[in-house]
Structure 1
Amino acid sequence: TVIALENDDTVRILRPGYVTKEMLEEIVPQVTLDPAILHQLKEGQTVRSPGMKYQHYSPQAHVILVEGEWQNFAAYAEQNKADGVYALVFDGEETRLSLPCLTYGASGQEQAQQIFSKLRELDDRGAHKVYVRAPKPEGIGLAVYNRLIRAAGFEVIQV
């Protein structure tokens, strides 16, 4: 977690990580999220921390972050399956899809530990396109979401 001290009573999270917003709120009166955590920077905008500006942690495949309930994600992935298309889903969901899948944990901590190795594994498998089931951007899930949105080049689909 990278933070900036804004004034006497405000902490701005620049890059979310293991220390969550909720943890900081227990000890600091005001905690804010930098807009660059969830949104692409505008042209010419100055970054306040490494890793805020560019696409990072992306496999060679075209990554698309998909937000929504499981049944909507599954329907979307199934409608768009083709050769070289994979899904990156939560543990236990892989058996409910007919397209090739990798899993990256059931929740926050596991997902944070596995996300980068799973993105590299997609390269090893020759994936051309990957639909990633988005975690909820809260708690440590915010850090995972932040890394995934960058891997997807900010391409997010709501289903």
Structure 2
Amino acid sequence: MPASSRAPARVKDRPTWLVSRLFARSSGLLADGFEAHGGGLRSYHYRLLAALEEWGPASQADLGRATGIDRSDVTAVLSELESRRLVGRSADPGHGRRNIVTITAAGAEQLRELDAVVDGVQERLLSPLTAAQRRQFVALMSKLLADGSAPPTG
């Protein structure tokens, strides 16, 4: 019996099991989408670029907190993005030990390309659902996350 297709009866209909299986599926689809796009960028890169474009310049610490990415991972990912000239970092004049990060024009263009990748993944993941079911699914997930009891994870 393949482990990926079966679960014990007392497990298979539990929301925690279903959410973890769906997370694994969606993560795999996203990784495959980014891999097919090429360029070595992944979910963390996308999340940080999206945050910078939407919210504007921010400190590394604020980016980590806002996106749920661990501080050390933020530093590493921003270094990768900076080496590709997708973001710029400069010292915060009001706080000597803090860096302010901005998205570059090349970063904004890369983000648009990655948006298309992520849109394709969403379509593939949700393809069994009607448009109304998709809206309901997203609304229900958002409601479950809105109570804020669980901390964000990377």
TM-score by length of 2: 0.25
Higher strand share: 1
Higher helix share: 2
Larger radius of gyration: 2
TM-score by length of 1: 0.25
